[in-house]
Amino acid sequence: MHRLTFRKPDDWHLHLRDGAHTASIVSATARCFARAIVMPNLKPPITTCAQALAYRERICAVLPSKSRFNPLMTLYLTDNTPKTEIASAHSCEHIVAVKYYPVGATTNSDLGVTDLRRVWQVLEAMQSYDIPLLIHGEVAAASIDIFDREQIFIEQVLDPLLEHFPNLRIVLEHITTQDAVEYVMNSSPYVAATITAHHLLLNRNDLLHGGIRPHHYCLPILKRERHRQALLQAATSGNPKFFLGTDSAPHAQSAKETACGCAGIYTAPAALALYARAFEQAQALDKLEGFASFYGADFYKMPRNTETVTLEKRTWRMPLHFEFGDSHVIPLYAGAEIDWQQVQN
Ligand code: NCD
Ligand code: ZN
């Protein structure tokens, strides 16, 4: 199959940053995706509806003219989120979910939740308003091996949470392990997961192949090959519990290439091509449309898009860097050949 036309997809997990940084990256996503769930982990984080709406305006202000890209906003859950904010979110069409970062788990999560029991009433309100909870599913304790953090989160935090809130819609974001795949598969229809392109294409050897590779460092960290295979299997299975979320997370080159580089992989410039590469590897290109364009919309109870996109099997070279405010961001596969190309909006 050398040409693929399918319904325009959505990105159900994305970082757009803010200010000058947003201006230079938003068009990459708007080109491939009709909508995207925009993460609230700014500095300071987006914790109120008013902040989310102002942030949305800033994003819309830098969209290419004629773009109909729709940023779907989220609130950052803290120990102090008031229940009233959930009621306000419910009545605002642009705010679609609340994000739970365990404190210290990832980039800009220092104001995340210290203990879920502190937000129990907020979760009750979300369940009753049917607002989805998006979860960064890793425990943050330094004593826990970084490769085990997702699995232990599932056992210690997620499982009791689901028991207590059986009707709360939950997206376990950017899953990385066979354990998470099996857990989501065996849980109720209220639980789904997003999968990134980089976790479908890379394993933990790619972090250290020939030297340390800061542009392959993200959280949750890349896992061993057995887990990559499980993710590929889940993404291409046609099971609607698994859908696309790039977790495209740009950082300035200087913040990545340093003694303590931050986590995040920038995939937006080739997002669809990278998913196509992964699905082709699994001989499952026919399953790409469901994963990329249908199941996420269905889970979020939004209409499926009506426009289409077309990809062709055609080689192009990923630029070495892109503008990022007044600095640069290095994309995944910088300078390398990419074998699929989007040819039509
Ligand atoms: C994300 C970021 O940079 O904001 N980083 C990442 O490695 N994925 C945060 C996140 O989603 O964990
Ligand atoms: Zn993310």
Domain boundaries, the chain: 10-306
C-alpha distances in Å from residue 159, one per residue of 119, 186, 256, 268, 316:
16, 12, 34, 32, 44
Residue among 247, 324, 329 whose CB has most ligand 1 atoms within 8 A, to mutate: 247
Return d(Cα 251, Cα 324) in angstroms, integer. 8
Residue nearest to atom 6 of ligand 1 (CA): 264
Which residues fall within 8 angstroms of residue 161, CB to CB, at 6 or more apart? 116, 123, 168, 170
Residue among 41, 100, 215 whose CB has most ligand 1 atoms within 8 A, to mutate: 41
Ligand 1 centroid to residue 338 C-alpha, Å = 24
Is residue 15 in contact with ligand 1, taking CB distance under 6 Å?
yes
List per-residue pLDDT tens for the chain, 345 residues long: 699 999 999 999 999 999 999 998 999 999 999 999 999 999 999 999 999 999 999 999 999 999 999 999 999 999 999 999 999 999 999 999 999 999 999 889 999 999 999 999 999 999 999 999 999 999 999 999 999 999 999 999 999 999 999 999 999 999 999 999 999 999 999 999 999 999 999 999 999 999 999 999 999 999 999 999 999 999 999 999 999 999 999 999 999 999 999 999 999 999 999 999 999 999 999 999 999 999 999 999 999 999 999 999 999 999 999 999 999 999 999 999 999 999 965
280 exposed, middle or buried (CB, 10 Å; 0-12, 13-18, 19+)?
middle
The class that CATH gives domain 10-306 is: alpha beta
Which pLDDT does position 345 carry in this prediction? 57
Is residue 263 in contact with ligand 1, taking CB distance under 6 Å?
yes
Whether the Cβ atoms of residue 246 and residue 196 lie closer than 8 Å to each other: yes
Tokens 């709360």 -> residue:
168
Is residue 13 in contact with ligand 1, taking CB distance under 6 Å?
no
Return d(Cα 17, Cα 327) in angstroms, integer. 14
Ligand 2 centroid to residue 15 C-alpha, Å = 6
Which residues fall within 8 angstroms of residue 242, CB to CB, at 6 or more apart? 181, 184, 192, 193, 194, 195, 234, 235, 291, 295
